[in-house]
Amino acid sequence: MTDPASSTPGPQPLIGVVMGSRSDFETMSGALEVLSQLGVAHEVRVLSAHRTPHLLASYAARAERLNLRCLIAGAGGAAHLPGMLAAFTRVPVLGVPVHSRSLGGQDSLLSMVQMPAGVPVATFAIGVAGAKNAALFAAALLASTDEAACARLNAYRAAQTQAVLDDPYFDGHPQALAE
CB atoms within 10 A of CB 167: 12
Nearest 5 degrees, angle CA 51-CA 45-CA 150?
140
- Which one, 37 or 52, has the nearer CB to ligand RP5? 52
Distance of closest approach, residue 144 Cβ to ligand RP5, in angstroms? 30
Distance of closest approach, residue 11 Cβ to ligand RP5, in angstroms? 28
Contact set with ligand RP5 (CB under 6 A): 20-21, 23-24, 48, 75-77, 98
Distance of closest approach, residue 74 Cβ to ligand RP5, in angstroms? 7
Distance of closest approach, residue 49 Cβ to ligand RP5, in angstroms? 7
At 75, the amino acid letter reads: A
- Which one, 14 or 128, has the nearer CB to ligand RP5? 128
- Which one, 21 or 37, has the nearer CB to ligand RP5? 21
Distance of closest approach, residue 100 Cβ to ligand RP5, in angstroms? 6
- Which one, 23 or 160, has the nearer CB to ligand RP5? 23
Work out the angle between the directed axes of helices 106-113 and 81-88 (0-180°, nearest 10): 20
- Which one, 71 or 149, has the nearer CB to ligand RP5? 71
